Amino acid sequence: MLSNVSGLKVLALDTSSEWCSAALWLDGEVHTREENAGQRHSELILPMIDALLLQAGLTVRQMDAIAFGAGPGSFTGLRIACGIAQGLAFAARLPVAPVVTLECLAQASGGERVLSALDARMGEIYFAAYERTGGGWRVVHEPVLCRPEQAPPVQGTWIGSGGGFAAHGSALEKRYGTQLSAVCVDLFAHAREVAELAVPTVARGEVVDAAEAAPLYIRDKVALSVAERAARRGARE
Dist. CA 108–CA 187, nearest whole Å: 7
CA dist list (Å): 70 to 36, 54, 198, 230: 19, 25, 11, 32
Query: What string of DSSP letters covers 46-102?
Result: HHHHHHHHHHHT--GGG-SEEEEEEESS-HHHHHHHHHHHHHHHHHHT--EEEEEHH
How much is the mean pLDDT over the chain? 92
Amino acid at 62: Q
Question: Distance between CA 216 and CA 108 in Å, rounded?
Answer: 20
Label residue 224 by pLDDT band (50, 70, 90): very low
3-state secondary structure of 24: strand
**8 Å CB contact between 62 and 39:** no
pTM of the model: 0.90
- Listed residue (119, 121, 120, 37) closest to 81, CA to CA: 37
The CA distance from 172 to 160, in Å, is 9
Give me the CATH topology for the region 3-101+189-212.
Nucleotidyltransferase; domain 5 (3.30.420)
pLDDT of residue 2: 44
Same fold, 3-101+189-212 and 102-184: yes
Which option is the CATH number for 102-184: 3.40.50.1220, 3.40.50.2300, 3.40.50.300, 3.30.420.40?
A: 3.30.420.40
Segments making up each domain of the chain, as ranges: 3-101+189-212, 102-184
pLDDT in tens, 161-217: 999 999 999 999 999 999 999 999 999 999 999 999 999 999 999 999 999 999 999
Q: Is 60 exceeded by the pLDDT of residue 222?
A: no
pLDDT of residue 27: 87
